Structure 1
Amino acid sequence: MLKQFWRLNEREQEANRKRSRVQARVEHVFAQHANRLVRNIKQVRVGVNIGMMNLMHNMHRLVWLAG
């Protein structure tokens, strides 16, 4: 069965761009965390580590935005 593709109008293209920007930012954060994920036996420690990585990312982002 052949797939048919339709061109999006201007409004749909702009909506896709906005969604893509947000999605890319969110995925970028989690990709960074996956590279740094430390193996821990207890899930509580993993949760704390992820929370600390999120905090550090947010602090770096704040410095970058303010700078």
Structure 2
Amino acid sequence: VVGSGGREHALAQVLGRSAEVVVTPGNPGIPESVSEPPEEIEADLFVIGPEAPLVDGLADRL
């Protein structure tokens, strides 16, 4: 889950019920966050919450 807002927090909580979830950059309400850039994380699925990373082309780089 990419992002640090309430939307990403809610997504991480729901997804975390049945899968391993990594959040970057995270926030105080998300206990398992990492400081690695999303491009350096190997994952089967990325959820990009905020609009800015989408506009910046993050989905294309992943």
The answer to whether TM tops 0.5 is no
TM-score (norm 2): 0.30
Q: Which structure is higher in helix share?
A: 1
Relative contact order, higher structure (CA 8 A, sep 6+): 2
TM-score (norm 1): 0.28
